[in-house]
Homo-oligomer: A and B are copies of this chain.
Amino acid sequence: MRMSELLKRSGMPLATVKYYLREGLLAPGESVGATMADYGEEHVRRLALIRALTEVVGLPLAGVRTIVGIIDEPEADRYSTLGRAIAVLPPAVEADAHGDYPRARAALAEIGQLCDPGYAAVAQLERALAAAEAAGLPMGRERLHGYARHIMAIAEIDMAELPEADTSRAVEYSVLGTALYDPIFAAMRRLAHQDLASRMLGGSAGDQTR
């Protein structure tokens, strides 16, 4: 497709697309003449990725560059490649000076899950558990097990669709699936609470449609 078509498909202005081309975030099109280039579905796809990461996830351009770099040149080790890409996503949590993460470590041991302190989510879990504890709502043992069971089931649904053959596609899927499904998760949890509350508490919920 020509640039005009790419702009239409991506919904982005020319200046923005040219900027991504200059920055190397978008590969050049195939030359079809002195001033013309041909773009493919990969270009549409890449622009959708950049837009999701900047506009929806709110990632600074440096973070987008890191993720795009990993997608364009993945390492042989898929596990660590995926881990490096996911670590770029928010929330950014400073690493514990001691690398200690006592709450996260205890919680993961309790539910029998891998604890890799080099992975950003361990620090994220530590901070989140500490905050809940400080506010007087510590994660209890029973709740932890209940959560873990259902979250693992959700993770299995996610992983079932991981593109197996292609590491670049797997990184793209993991990054977008993590960042864009977090808010779906949060909204669905609130809506499930509301659905239960309307049954338990009645009240004005009676007016609504189910």
Contacts and interface: CB of A to CB of B under 8 A. Distances in A.
A198 interface: yes
Contacts of A195: 113-114, 152, 155
A92 to B, nearest CB: 12
A79 to B, nearest CB: 3
A157 B189 CA distance: 11
B188 A137 contact: no
Interface in A143-192: 143, 146-148, 150-159, 161-162, 173-174, 176-178, 180-192
Contacts of A113: 191-192, 195, 210
Contacts of A122: 187, 191
A208 B114 contact: yes
Interface stretch (A14-22, A23-31, A32-40, A128-136): A128-136
A205 B136 contact: no
B121 A151 contact: no
**Chain A: interface residue count, which band?**
35 or more
12 contacts: A48-B134, A119-B191, A122-B187, A124-B186, A127-B183, A137-B173, A137-B181, A151-B188, A151-B189, A154-B192, A156-B196, A178-B190
Interface of A: 45, 48-49, 51-52, 56, 77-80, 82-83, 86, 91, 104, 108, 112-116, 119-122, 124-125, 127-129, 131-132, 134-137, 139, 143, 146-148, 150-159, 161-162, 173-174, 176-178, 180-198, 200-205, 208-210
